[in-house]
Every structure is written in C-alpha cells, then in structure tokens.
C-alpha cells in the first residue's frame, strides 16, 4: 500500500519530490535535533491523485487520522479541544520553492469554544481572539475563496474606528467583534457558517492547499521558472507555536549570509508580537535581526548557533523562518536560500575557503544565467544625477523605466515596447505579471525578505524595497516625497538595486566590472578587482580546467574575432560571408548575378576576389593559431538584389515619366527570375555553389590565398572551409573537386606546398543527418547548424512562426521553451546524436561542433556535452556563459 503521510521524524532532505522542499527540510531539521514543532507531511503523490480524481486517494484519510492521533498524544492535547486546544498550521510546500504562490492556513482548530480554552491556557484573551480572527480571515480567503479584500477592509474599518493604524492597538474586544464581522463575511460569501468542527477545518484546508497548486498565479510562476506543471504540492501539518503572545514573542526570517552580496553576517528581519506572514507582508515595519540580541539574547544566541549548524550541514547559504514564543525559539522552515547572481559566485568561493565544498561543487553552485546577469551594465557612478530617495538594495542591477503603478499597465506598456518600472507600496503574488514585464520593482514598504525582494531576486530583476520616504498612492497614480516632490505615471526613474538609490530621470549606465574583467581590462589579482570579480575569475578558471567542450565564436569581422579571443574563444566556429557582399560591394555582386556569360561573371568575381582576400586576412590574422571555420556563401542571391515590389514600382514610375529604364528593367527581369516562393528552401547554400559556377571558387581562392600570404609571413593559420546546406554527399564531392583544383594554384601555396586546410559541411537538413555516414566520406568536420536544423526538422519558418503561433504553443505547454532558444532534445537533438554516431563510424577523428544560437544556451550546452561534440560556437557575449556551462556539464555526475 502506498504511504501518503510521513511524520516529520520519518523523512529527510532528499525526499523533496515526495515531501516537498518544506516538508523534507522540516524532517531534516527534526532529525538534526533542532526545535521544530512536531507534525506530519502529506505527500505530493496524494496531491497528484487528488488533482487527477477530484478526491483524496483511498487510505489517505485513515493515515491522516493515525498521524493526527499520534501528534495529539505527543503534544498531550487534542485538535480544537474546548479546554486546551491543539492548533495546527496547514502548509503548502512543493519540490521547488515557489514563494508566496500557494496557500498556508494558520491556527486551524480554533472555534467558538476552543478560543476560550486557548485564552484561559495562555492567560491572554487578546491573543486568543487575534488568533481566531486570523484563522477566519485566512481560511475564508484561501479555503472558501472569498476575496481577501473583504477581510482586509473589515480590519481597516476596525482600526479606523479605534483611531489607529496598528494591528496591535486592537484589544481583545475589538478582535472578538472582528471575528463576528468576519463570520458575517463568510456567511455572505458562501451561504454557510464558518465551520466549527476542527477536523473538518483541517481537511478542507488540506484540499485547498492541494488545489492551490493549480491557481493562476502558481501557473504563471511555474512557466516563468520552468517548473514542471505536474509535480503537485505536499502539505505539512505542523503544530502551532505563537509569536503573537506579547512583546516577548515574535517571528522572523533570516539568511545565514547576505543573499544580495554574499557577505558574511547576520541578515534578516524580526517583528515582535506577530504571527506568520506579518513579517514578509510588510504590514508593519520590521526590526533588523541584529536587534534581537538586545531584545532576547538567549534566543538570539541560540538562533546564531542553529544558523551555523544549518550552514555546516547544508554546506550552503540557508534561509530560515523562526518564531519565538514567550522566550522559546522554534524553527519553522529552512531551505538553501535564493540569492542574487553576485552572491552565488561570492558564496561559492567563500565556501571553498571555509572547507565546506570543493571547487567542483562550487562550479555546480553557479549558472550561466547568473553569469549573464553579472555582465549587464550598471549605473555610471560619476554621472550627474538627482537622488529622489534611498531604499533597501533588494536585488541588484540598474533599471530605468517609466513609472507604472499596477501590473496590468506594466504589462500593456511593456508589450508596446516601453521600459517600465513597477512601483507599489508592497507587492503580492497578483503583481507577478507586472514584475515580469517591468525592468525593475520599487516598493515603499517591506524589507529584503519582502515578497517583492524575494521574487525579484529569483527572477534576476532589479529591485529597491522599503523606500519609506515615498508615499505611493496607487489610486491617484503618483509618488510623493517627504519634501513634496511628485512623480506621476509615465515619469522616468532610475533605480539602483546594488545600493538602493532611486533617481529622477534616466541615469547613464556603464559596463559591469565582470564585463571589464572579461574584456581583459581588469586584472582579477589587482586591487581594483572586488570580491565578485575575484570569485568569477576563480570559478571560470576551474570551469576552463574542467570542461571537455571547446568554445568557439560566431564572428565575421576582425574586431569581433579579437573581442572573442579576449572572452576566451578558442577559434571561430562560424564566419558568415554574406555581410561581406553588402555595402559598396553590392554593385559587384549584382553584376555577378546579372552576368549573362561565363566571361562576364568571371570578370565581376575577379573584382570581388581582392576584397575577399582582405576580409579573410584580417580574420585569420586576428585568430592567429586558432581554427577559423569560414562558411561559403549561404543565402539566396536575390537577397543581394533590390526588393521585387520596390523595383517594380520604380520601373513603372520611370516608364510613366518616359525615362530610360533599360538597366532597371534588366535588373527587374533578374529579380523576377530569382524570386522564390520559399527562399529558405530554395536556391541557396551548396546549391548556389553548383548553379553559379565560379562563385564558391572565388571564395575558396580568397581563403587559401589569404592563408598562404599569412603563412609566408610566419603567421600560423588554420582555415576550415565549410559548405552550407548539404543534403547529399554528391553535392559535397562536386565542391571538393573544385576546391582541390584551386588549392593547387601557386598563389594558394607556400614553397610549392598547399597551406593545410580542412573542408567540412554544415549539418542542417534532416537528410544530411540521416546520411551522415556517407557525407563524412567527403567531410573532415561537421558543424551542426541548429537554427536551420530546427527549422527544417520541425518544418518551421522561424520568422513566420515566432510571431504568429509560438506564444500559443508556449502557453498551452506544447513547448516548455522555444526550440530556437533551447535545443529540442528529442527531435533535433536526436538528429545531432545520429549524425555524430554515423559520422564517426566513417571517420573516427571527424571534428564535430555546433554553430547555431543554441551554442550559448546553458541547457543546450549540457546536451552537446553529453552528445559528445568537440566544441560549441556562439556569439561573442555568450562565450563566458558557454565556457562556464561546459565546465559544469563536465562536472555533473550523470555522465561520469
């Protein structure tokens, strides 16, 4: 029989799949002997069954009863007992943390009688009624689906009647009245009374938590974070401890290091006389955790000790939730804490130095996406700027945008191409869409652990939180400062998530130090380098030492090639030659296309030859000593001619005016002749080389002559000639024969010997992949052109599909991610593996690489590593990311 319920003492941290992150870590802490209130966890498996069948799986209710009975025995109290009630929280917790996305209900077990019992036991009426009103509020909103504002409004009314803004000023009678009001809200909203039976409360809450897995906001979050939609959530039932029992009680959150910078120290927020979400909700302003030392030194010292225990045990930065009940500390949650990209790198290297992890492990603790984040520009420190205010530096980065005050406007304006900043008093999960759309988030309430801060850090989005001098009026859509300055919707602000600065207008940005380091302009060992640059350098060095995949660049100019070398490129994987045919050279190319005889064409090609020699000389020189893969001309020729419609109109007008149109008419005829219904599948690539004699020959001549000249100068060169769009070995044989003739020309030789070169092909048609064994007879290397291979495998024309139906495909989950961003492993990836296998059968030392955009995509890099390729090639700025991910791919246990 499947077991659906586990006591906290039965599980451990490796059971996240089954117990959810929260449940697994509660179990781990229990077994570490930390003070965790006892409880049990209902599995994700039970949730999946419930969601699939609309009912709890057989046997679950029995198990829950048994575990509840055991809990009651252990606590010496019964759930909802009239004299001395056991109360529990019913908490959601999925495998991956989804902060604030799902529901938790506290104080379950309170009703009209047990509230009196609780008051007597605690000797505190106010506390008992405050807890009861929280239960009705949370239960009403999350279990009974009553709009949360109805309760919030009633609470506001009660405070207004009392002439206060602080919850704490409401006394026992006020709370009692509020419970009555809330019960009325429940009756109005659902047509029934608030359930008094404790077990019924618990069962309904469990189901509500199960169902919250499928709430719209949880779905949005999962898509954003690429969390699978079918995992389900576990439910932890945890005996209550109370932070709202007076000023010697309280609740807090803490990080074992600064989640923003990675600096060591005590980071967190604490709130006296408060329960649960009061801290993160930003309802009252919190105290810095360090203040707890003054308030309750015993609990503080114990907390610090537990934090050290947790760090040593998890060997990582942890975040925790705790509650102090009348001077006794309770641990309510821990997990390996979310952190900024900068903190990820610094913490990983600190942990090496502290002997907690080794360099291989450190490499697994950072990601290419985080590195990309660190390469973004930041604000220019020296620029003149007008400071509006300073808040908390909640999530780093530099964001500039037009101020908007609600999620919907943020989404609308961002869709229209505008950069926006979402400004709120505090955010809640309903603001998620707006946060995704915005460049950054600014709030006037809440600290580093507020919803806005946690979510923004998770998304790598800039955030400044708790800018208290700002009065944010969401209804009137304006911000007012203490000194009376106003900012209205649409005004531009700049926010600095690294130091918390908020500036009026647009502040200019400068390159990040990490970028300057990659550019080779910042020595990581010098005093100018900060901890972050040093950490990045250390981890990159280890990634380079660990990786098997080489990393090349896609570059077509000497400048790009030079930058790529600084970034660590080990060659050029794709040098496109089409841009070399534009600009002033267009006329020469037009002449090639329009030539009527072979002689005419040869003449125009001869004029192009010296220019191409210059192009290739610059690139081969910049990449001295490294391989350079040059792709022969790929796009259809009409791309170099004027547009058909424009030219037709031009000729028609000229004829109308009686002007001489002979040359334009000739051109028009050619354009018509070359016009294709579907150019992507038309006369291009190797087909051009065969149909337009002399074209590829000119390019090959230019490559080999450039190489010969440089070699004669003593420059070491390693050219690789790449033939695009091959589908059959016969095509390649035809081109190879032409190449062999050219390379025996004296200009392509030094001292009577041809400069060594390689000839290979792109694999970008399914037929090429399928017949790779044959093609390898004539190819010394394959380069997977995964952009085209994705187009031709799926039958997608990228430019057409991305704008028309891709969003629908992503929304309905047909794709997890666009196959143009992250390689489609089962389809396109299969062809890559097939061609790799077949190619190596024919030619064991065949060189295999990839030059599509996937070469810089972290997940794809891991796939290419596993597929056994020799290198990936990507755009210059993604080289560091590919280096890092290639290192990480080598280190993962899976393929060792």
Q: What is the DSSP letter of 296?
A: -
Q: Are 436 and 414 in contact (CB under 8 A)?
A: no
Segment lying near Mg ion (by CB under 5 A), choices 268-276, 316-324, 421-429, 639-647: 316-324
104 binds, among Mg ion, ligand ADP, none (CB under 5 to 8 A by kind): ligand ADP
Q: How many CB atoms lie within 10 A of CB 759?
A: 20
Segment lying near Mg ion (by CB under 5 A), choices 737-745, 787-795, 819-827, 862-870: 787-795
Q: Between helices 598-622 and 558-566, what is the axis angle to 10°? A: 30
**SS3 of residue 443 by DSSP:** strand
Among 27, 108, 110, 241, binds ligand ADP (CB under 6 A): 241
Q: In the complex with ligand ADP, which residue's Cβ is closer, 37 or 887?
A: 37
CA atoms within 13 A on the CB side of 83: 2
Residue 449 binds ligand ADP, judged by CB under 6 A = no
Helix, strand, coil in percent for the chain, rounding step 5: 50, 20, 30
> Pick the catalytic residue: 47, 175, 318, 851?
851
Segment lying near ligand ADP (by CB under 6 A), choices 238-246, 297-305, 590-598, 676-684: 238-246
**Residue 484: what are its φ and ψ, rounded to 5°?**
85, 5
Residue 238 binds ligand ADP, judged by CB under 6 A = yes
Q: Between helices 114-122 and 125-138, what is the axis angle to 10°? A: 140
232 binds, among Mg ion, ligand ADP, none (CB under 5 to 8 A by kind): none
Residue 299 binds ligand ADP, judged by CB under 6 A = no
Where helices occur in 114-267 by DSSP H, the ranges are: 114-122, 125-138, 148-162, 172-190, 198-212, 216-225
Q: What is the DSSP string of 241-275?
A: --S-SSTT-EEEEEEEE-TTT--EEEEEEEEES--
Which residues, 6 or more positions from 652, have their beta carbon under 8 angstroms from its beta carbon? none
91 binds, among ligand ADP, Mg ion, none (CB under 5 to 8 A by kind): ligand ADP
Binding residues for ligand ADP, rule CB under 6 A, total 16
Residue 788 binds Mg ion, judged by CB under 5 A = yes
Among 30, 43, 44, 104, binds ligand ADP (CB under 6 A): 104
Tokens matching residue 783: 């380069």
Is 851 one of the annotated active-site residues of the chain?
Answer: yes
Residue 252 binds Mg ion, judged by CB under 5 A = no
Residue 321 binds ligand ADP, judged by CB under 6 A = yes
Question: What's the min distance (Å) between Cβ of 272 and ligand ADP?
Answer: 15
Q: Are 170 and 123 in contact (CB under 8 A)?
A: no
Residue 764 binds ligand ADP, judged by CB under 6 A = no
Angle CA 439–442–445, to nearest 5? 155
785 binds, among ligand ADP, Mg ion, none (CB under 5 to 8 A by kind): Mg ion
839 binds, among Mg ion, ligand ADP, none (CB under 5 to 8 A by kind): none
Among 203, 277, 639, 780, binds ligand ADP (CB under 6 A): 277
Question: What's the min distance (Å) between Cβ of 18 and ligand ADP?
Answer: 17
Tokens matching residue 839: 């190619």
Our measurement of the distance from residue 611's CA atom to the centroid of its chain's CA atoms, rounded to an integer in Å, reads: 43
Tokens matching residue 336: 């390996």
Among 212, 323, 395, 783, binds ligand ADP (CB under 6 A): 323
Among 91, 335, 457, 684, binds ligand ADP (CB under 6 A): 91
Tokens matching residue 585: 């050279």
100 binds, among Mg ion, ligand ADP, none (CB under 5 to 8 A by kind): ligand ADP
Question: What's the min distance (Å) between Cβ of 297 and Mg ion?
Answer: 26
Question: What's the min distance (Å) between Cβ of 339 and ligand ADP?
Answer: 17
Residues in the chain, how many? Answer: 896
Write out 852-883 in H/E/C secondary structure: CHHHHCHHHHHHHHHHCCCEEEECHHHHHHHH
Residue 333 binds Mg ion, judged by CB under 5 A = yes
Question: What's the min distance (Å) between Cβ of 203 and ligand ADP?
Answer: 17
Our measurement of the distance from residue 544's CA atom to the centroid of its chain's CA atoms, rounded to an integer in Å, reads: 23
Is 865 one of the annotated active-site residues of the chain?
Answer: no
| Window 743 to 772, contacts with Mg ion (CB under 5 A) | 764
Q: In the complex with Mg ion, which residue's Cβ is closer, 306 or 889?
A: 306
CA gap 260, 253 in Å, rounded: 15
Segment lying near Mg ion (by CB under 5 A), choices 58-66, 81-89, 483-491, 783-791: 783-791
> Pick the catalytic residue: 67, 318, 451, 874?
451
Residue 873 binds Mg ion, judged by CB under 5 A = no
416-449: buried (b, 16+ CB within 10 Å) or exposed (e) per residue? eeebbbbbbbbbbbebbbbbbbbbbbbbbbbbbb
Q: In the complex with ligand ADP, which residue's Cβ is closer, 276 or 694?
A: 276
Among 85, 140, 276, 440, binds ligand ADP (CB under 6 A): 276
Residue 100 binds ligand ADP, judged by CB under 6 A = yes
Q: Which residues are catalytic?
A: 451, 851
Binding site for ligand ADP (CB under 6 A): 37, 89, 91, 100, 104, 106, 238-241, 276-277, 321, 323, 332-333
Binding site for Mg ion (CB under 5 A): 321, 333, 764, 785, 788
């Amino acid at each position: 029989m499947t077991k659906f319920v586990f006591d906290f003492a039965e599980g451990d941290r490796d059971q996240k799949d089954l117990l959810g992150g929260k449940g697994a870590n509660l179990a781990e802490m229990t077994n570490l002997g930390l003070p965790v209130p006892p409880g049990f966890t209902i599995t994700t498996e039970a949730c999946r069954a419930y969601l699939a069948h609309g009912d709890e799986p057989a046997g679950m209710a029995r198990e829950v009863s048994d575990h509840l009975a055991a809990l009651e025995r252990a606590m010496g109290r019964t759930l909802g007992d009239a004299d001395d009630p056991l109360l529990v929280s019913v908490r959601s917790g999925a495998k991956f943390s989804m902060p604030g996305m799902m529901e938790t209900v506290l104080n379950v077990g309170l009703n009209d009688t047990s509230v009196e019992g609780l008051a007597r036991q605690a000797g505190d009426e106010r506390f008992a009624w405050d807890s009861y009103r929280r239960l009705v509020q949370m239960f009403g909103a999350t279990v009974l689906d009553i709009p949360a504002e109805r309760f919030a409004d009633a609470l506001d009314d009660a405070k207004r009647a009392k002439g206060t803004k602080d919850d704490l000023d409401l006394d026992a009678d006020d709370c009692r009245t509020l419970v009555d009001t809330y019960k009325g809200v429940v009756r109005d909203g659902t047509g029934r009374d608030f359930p008094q039976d404790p077990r019924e409360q618990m069962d309904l809450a469990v189901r509500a938590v199960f169902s919250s897995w499928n709430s719209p906001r949880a779905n949005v979050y999962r898509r954003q974070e690429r969390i699978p939609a079918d995992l389900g959530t576990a439910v932890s039932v945890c005996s209550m401890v109370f932070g709202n029992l007076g000023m010697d009680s309280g609740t807090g959150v803490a990080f074992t290091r600064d989640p923003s910078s990675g600096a060591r120290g005590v980071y967190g927020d604490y709130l006296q006389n408060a329960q649960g979400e009061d801290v993160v909700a930003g309802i009252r302003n919190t105290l810095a955790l360090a203040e707890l030392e003054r308030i309750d030194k015993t609990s503080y010292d114990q907390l610090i000790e537990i934090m050290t225990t947790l760090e040593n045990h998890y060997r990582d930065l942890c975040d925790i939730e705790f509650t102090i009940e009348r001077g006794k500390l309770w641990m309510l949650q821990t997990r390996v804490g979310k952190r900024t990209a900068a903190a990820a790198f610094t913490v990983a290297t600190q942990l090496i130095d502290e002997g907690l992890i080794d360099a291989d492990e450190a490499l697994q603790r950072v990601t290419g996406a985080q590195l990309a984040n660190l390469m973004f520009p930041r604000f220019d420190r020296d620029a003149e700027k007008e400071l509006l205010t300073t808040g908390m530096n909640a999530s780093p980065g530099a964001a500039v945008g037009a101020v908007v005050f609600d999620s919907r406007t943020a989404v609308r304006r961002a869709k229209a191409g505008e950069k926006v900043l979402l400004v709120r008093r505090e955010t809640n999960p309903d603001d998620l869409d707006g946060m995704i759309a915005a460049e950054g988030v600014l709030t006037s309430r809440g600290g580093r652990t507020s919803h806005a801060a946690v979510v923004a850090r998770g998304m790598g989005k800039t955030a400044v939180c708790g800018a208290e001098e700002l009065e944010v009026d969401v209804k009137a859509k304006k911000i007012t400062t203490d000194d009376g300055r106003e900012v209205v919707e649409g005004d531009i602000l700049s926010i600095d998530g690294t130091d918390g600065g908020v500036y009026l207008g647009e502040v200019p940005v400068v390159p990040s130090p990490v970028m300057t380091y990659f550019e080779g302009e910042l020595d990581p060992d010098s005093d100018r380098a900060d901890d972050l640059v040093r950490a990045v350098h250390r981890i990159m060095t280890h990634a380079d030492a660990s990786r098997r995949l080489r990393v090349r660049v896609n570059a077509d100019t000497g400048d790009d090639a030079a930058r790529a070398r600084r970034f660590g490129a080990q060659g050029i994987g794709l040098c496109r030659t089409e841009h070399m045919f534009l600009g002033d050279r267009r006329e020469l190319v037009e002449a090639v296309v329009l030539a009527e005889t072979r002689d005419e064409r040869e003449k125009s090609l001869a004029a192009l030859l010296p220019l191409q020699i210059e192009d290739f000389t610059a690139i081969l020189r910049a990449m001295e000593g490294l391989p350079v893969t040059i792709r022969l001309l790929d796009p259809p020729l009409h791309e170099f001619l004027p547009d058909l419609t424009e030219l037709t109109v031009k000729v028609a007008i000229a004829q109308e005016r009686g002007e001489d149109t002979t040359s334009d008419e000739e051109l028009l005829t050619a354009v018509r002749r070359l016009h294709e219904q579907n150019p992507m599948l038309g006369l291009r690539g190797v087909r051009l080389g065969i149909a337009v004699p002399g074209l590829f020959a000119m390019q090959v001549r230019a490559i080999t002559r450039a190489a010969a000249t440089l070699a004669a100068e003593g420059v070491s060169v390693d050219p690789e000639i790449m033939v695009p769009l091959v589908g059959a070995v016969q095509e390649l044989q035809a081109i190879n024969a032409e190449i062999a003739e050219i390379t025996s020309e004296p200009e392509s030789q030094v001292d009577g010997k041809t400069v060594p070169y390689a000839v290979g092909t792109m694999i970008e048609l399914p037929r090429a992949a399928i017949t790779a064994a044959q093609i390898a007879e004539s190819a010394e290397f394959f380069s997977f052109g995964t952009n085209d291979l994705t187009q031709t495998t799926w039958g997608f024309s990228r430019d057409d599909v991305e704008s028309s139906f891709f969003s629908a495909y992503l929304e309905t989950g047909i794709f997890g991610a666009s196959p143009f961003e992250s390689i489609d492993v089962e389809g396109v990836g299969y062809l890559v593996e097939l061609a790799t296998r077949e190619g190596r059968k024919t030619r064991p030392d065949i060189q295999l690489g990839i030059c599509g955009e996937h070469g810089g995509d972290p997940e794809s890099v891991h796939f290419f590593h596993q597929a056994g390729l020799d290198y990936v090639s990507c755009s210059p700025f993604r080289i560091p990311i590919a280096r890092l991910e290639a290192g990480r791919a080598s280190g993962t246990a899976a393929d060792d």
